[in-house]
Amino acid sequence: MKKFRSVIVREGVEKAPHRSLFKAVGLSEEDLNKPLIAVVNSWNEIVPGHIHLDKIASFVKKGIKEAGGTPLEFNTIAICDGIAMGHKGMLYSLPSRELIAASVESMIQAHMFDAMVLIASCDKILPGMMMAAARINIPTVFVTGGNMLPGIYKGEKVGVSSVFEAVSLVKAGKMSLNEIKELESFACPGAGSCSGMYTANTVSCLIEALGMSLPYCGATPAVNALKYRLAEESGRKVVELLERNIKPSDILTDEAFENAVRVDMALGGSTNSVLHLMAIAHETGVKLPLEKFDELSRETPHLCNMNPAGPYFLSDLFEAGGVPALMKELKPLLNLNVLTVTGKTLKENIEKAKVLNRGVIKPLNNPLHKEGGIAILKGNLAPEGAVVKQSAVDASMLKFVGEAKVFNSEEEAVEAVLNKKVESGQVVVIRFEGPKGGPGMREMLTVTSAIIGMGLSKSVALITDGRFSGATRGPAIGHVSPEAAEGGPIALVEDGDKIKIDIPKRTLTLAVEEKVLKERLNGWKPPKPKVRRGYLYWYSKIAGSASKGAIWKKI
């Protein structure tokens, strides 16, 4: 038997106590003579993206056993961002990413597993597990749980974002209570990550683009049996990677991250992907600065008109050929010789891929937009940068000048929008919602949906040091850095200040004289912490800037 690192806990007379404990969970001598493969699962009964992962795990374990490994499963936490949205529960969402990474690291290192298969869906769990994979660096294959099918309501495809936007339609008298009740019953028809190109599905596609999951895994719906076949093959494949000693560090290279960013730009993915790709890159030692996203966005056209900005859902992307077909279209722009978990190169993986629907995946020479989905803005209001999904912004709002309407929390802003206290021509500024100030950098689908539902999406812009759900569309600019709690310029904005937004030129400007801003800064005092105990308190002390992925600061 080839020597693997798990011999530390299962070989020699000194390890008789260890073997006795393994035998207590049902392992045989034969099992203990095989490599120990962790099956890391985020299954729970709360999150629709996770409700089916127990079955996926059974197929993974089958594949591991067939290939000669001993699978052992454990679980991580998983927060549903949709359920956490719009209240204090959302404070825990982004911070949970670091908890997940740490929990996977702890379990793998404490028990000396030889390799692992990661199984997850949804926003923070996917990047948290990827961060752990990069940090631990043992042979790993990722099985993403798959997307939810869109619901059908009155003959139209709908998703969870439709329900969020319907709330303000009811408030505005444009939809009845009976209609929203019907909509909420149809919008989310079953298992899987919410059906549009929101954060979870964006990151699922990017994990495949990075080479860490098998081809077609990223866009395969949760309820499609292909997901089970991919899961079983992933179990077999991780044993092969172990035998060949292929690790995440061999796959997660500079070139692989560049590929993933280009795929992100072509998809028009969630702005949260910026945070997560930077955090994963940090764990690998790859330098992926914020500016790189904008550089690649200017070079990479937007090819997929995906919900929430467009009509197509993840199931449509799957039927159009999935991520391999998109990467085949992007072939002239990609690094094709990168290694993947198939043990083959990207070039080999996509050789037979085909675009099956040109409505979903546009040709490289006839894109939806010449530039990619995300733009990075800078200026005196965001010296370290801010992020906007430019592909989801109406052309009339790409350049905008308005007067600031300032709020110190999301709740204040939502109340003002729904009570018609926000007017056309204004720029809603929501601050003290960053990694430190939130704490936790909440997503704000509630307020962006309210703006859309109240009919203000083409006349009101939104700027925040917090962040946005992948289900957000419209002129919503997030990740403004430095954040208000750190004394960033966004902390100095006052009602009535003029703000200039120019997305094509990548500028975000507070039209206030420098002298006045210095006077305001001299009179500014840091706010008292909103939370004084528990995990969020500690998170607020060590969370870094969104401009660097909101990773923990070095102590």
By the 10 Å C-beta count (0-12 exposed, 13-18 middle, 19+ buried), 77 is classed as: middle
Q: Give Cα 110 to chain centroid, integer Å.
A: 28
Residues serving a catalytic function are 469
Give the Cα separation of 119 and 43 in Å (integer): 8
Q: Long-range contacts of range 496-499, CB-CB < 8 Å, 24 or more positions apart?
A: 496/403, 496/404, 497/403, 497/404, 498/401, 498/402, 498/403, 498/404, 499/381, 499/401, 499/402, 499/403, 499/404, 499/427, 499/429, 499/461, 499/463
Distances (CA, A) of 308 to 190, 216, 327, 493: 19, 22, 22, 30
Computed over its alpha carbons, how large is the radius of gyration of the chain? Answer: 23
Give the Cα separation of 337 and 346 in Å (integer): 6
Tell which residue, 110, 125, 102, has the closest CA to residue 41.
125
Distances (CA, A) of 534 to 133, 375, 404, 531, 539: 27, 35, 34, 8, 9
Give the Cα separation of 294 and 479 in Å (integer): 14
- Residue-wise burial string across 145-173, b where 16 or more C-beta atoms lie within 10 A, e elsewhere: bbbbbbbebeeebbbbbbbbbbbbbbbee
Give the Cα separation of 140 and 386 in Å (integer): 33
